[in-house]
C-alpha cells in the first residue's frame, strides 16, 4: 500500500464514519463544504512551505507522482479526510456534551 | 536557525488560530473538553498513520529543519503539534463561519 492507497482509504473511512457511525453527516451540510474550501488554500500554502523547503520529503516510489503546490496529490485526500473527521467528531461530541445546543 | 523551520510553519498556523479565535470572539478555551475529545480521535488515528508511513519511509523529515525531539522514537515533536494545531484551526474556521452565517445568534457556539 503506497500513500495513494492509504489516503483513498482514509477518505472512504472518514465518509463512512461521518455518515453512518458518528452520524454527524457533515458531508450533507453546506457549512462543511464552505469550511473545507476556505481551509484548502491554506493547506496548499503550508504544503508548499513544507515541501519546497524540503522540510518534509516523500519517497517517489510511495506516491503516484502528481504534485499540487509542491506536495503529492495524495496530500489533498489526507487533508480532506482529516478535516471531515475533525468536524464530524466535533459535532458528535458536541451533541453528547451539550445536547441542547446542537445546531442543525 | 534552520532547526526552527518546521516550527515556523506551526507558528503561522497557531497565529492564525489566535487571530480567528479572538477576532471572532469564539472563546475556544471554554470548549476545551470538546476539543480534547475530538483531537484525541485525530491524534490516535493520524499519528498511527504517520508512524507507519515514517517507518516504511513513505515520507521523512529533514533533521536539520526540525528540533530533533522525537516521539515514539521516530516522529518529530512538530508532528504532534501539527495534529493539534490543524484540527484546532479546522474547528475555529468552522465556528467562525457558523457565527458569520448567524450573526444574531451568538448564544449558541
Contact assessment for residue B77 and residue B7, using Cβ atoms and an 8 Å cutoff: no
Over residues A44-102, the pLDDT tens digits come to 999 999 999 999 999 999 999 999 999 999 999 999 999 999 999 999 999 998 766 55
ipTM over 0.90: yes
Proportion of chain A in helix, strand, coil states, percent, rounded to 5:
70, 5, 20
Identify the pLDDT of residue A102.
52
How high is the pLDDT of residue A101?
57
Chain A interface test: which of B3, B26, B28, B59 (most A C-beta within 10 Å): B59
Ranges of chain B whose pLDDT falls below 50: 109
A64: left (phi over 0), alpha (psi -120 to 50) or beta: alpha
**Is position B108 within any domain?**
no
At A53, list the grid cell: 523547503
Answer yes or no: do B34 and A58 touch at CB < 8 A: no
Chain-chain contact of B61 with A86 (C-beta, under 8 angstroms)? no
A57 and B59 within 8 Å at the Cβ level: the answer is yes
Between these two residues, A104 and A66, which has the higher pLDDT value? Answer: A66
- Euclidean distance between CA atoms B38 and B26, whole angstroms: 17
The confidence score (pLDDT) of residue B28 equals 95
Cβ B42–A53 below 8 Å, yes or no? Answer: no
Question: Which pTM value belongs to this model?
Answer: 0.93
Check CB contact under 8 Å for B97 and A31. Answer: yes
Q: What is the pLDDT of residue B102?
A: 81
How many independent structural domains does chain B possess? 1
The residue among B23, B28, B14, B37 whose CA lies nearest residue A96 is B37
3-class secondary structure, A58: strand
The Cα–Cα gap between A102 and B6 comes to: 37
In a domain, B93, yes or no: yes
Residue B16 lies in a domain: no
Q: What is the pLDDT of residue A100?
A: 66
Q: Is residue B7 part of a domain?
A: yes
A78: nearest CA in chain B? B46
Chain A contact for B13, CB < 8 A?
yes
pLDDT at residue A1 in the model? 78
CA-nearest residue to B59 within chain A is A58
Adjacent-strand bridge partners of A68: A71
Structural domain boundaries enclosing B85: 2-11+22-101
Amino acid at each position: 500500500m503506497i500513500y495513494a492507497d492509504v489516503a483513498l482509504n482514509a477518505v472512504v473511512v472518514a465518509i463512512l464514519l461521518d455518515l453512518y457511525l458518528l452520524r454527524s453527516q457533515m458531508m450533507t451540510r453546506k457549512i462543511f463544504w464552505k469550511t473545507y474550501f476556505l481551509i484548502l488554500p491554506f493547506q496548499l500554502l503550508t504544503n508548499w512551505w513544507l515541501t519546497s523547503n524540503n522540510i518534509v520529503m516523500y519517497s517517489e516510489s510511495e506516491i503516484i507522482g502528481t504534485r499540487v503546490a509542491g506536495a503529492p496529490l495524495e496530500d489533498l485526500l489526507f487533508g480532506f479526510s482529516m478535516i471531515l473527521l475533525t468536524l464530524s467528531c466535533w459535532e458528535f461530541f458536541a451533541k453528547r456534551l451539550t445536547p441542547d445546543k446542537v445546531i442543525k | 536557525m534552520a532547526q526552527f523551520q518546521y516550527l515556523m510553519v506551526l507558528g503561522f498556523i497557531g497565529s492564525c488560530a489566535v487571530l480567528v479565535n479572538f477576532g471572532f470572539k469564539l472563546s475556544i478555551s471554554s470548549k476545551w473538553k470538546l476539543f480534547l475529545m475530538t483531537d484525541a480521535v485525530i491524534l490516535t488515528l493520524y499519528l498511527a498513520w504517520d508512524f507507519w508511513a515514517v517507518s516504511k519511509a513513505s515520507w521523512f523529515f529533514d533533521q536539520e529543519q526540525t528540533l530533533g525531539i522525537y516521539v515514539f522514537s521516530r516522529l518529530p515533536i512538530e508532528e504532534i503539534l501539527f495534529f493539534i494545531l490543524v484540527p484546532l484551526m479546522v474547528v475555529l474556521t468552522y465556528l467562525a463561519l457558523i457565527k458569520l452565517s448567524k450573526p444574531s445568534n451568538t448564544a449558541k457556539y
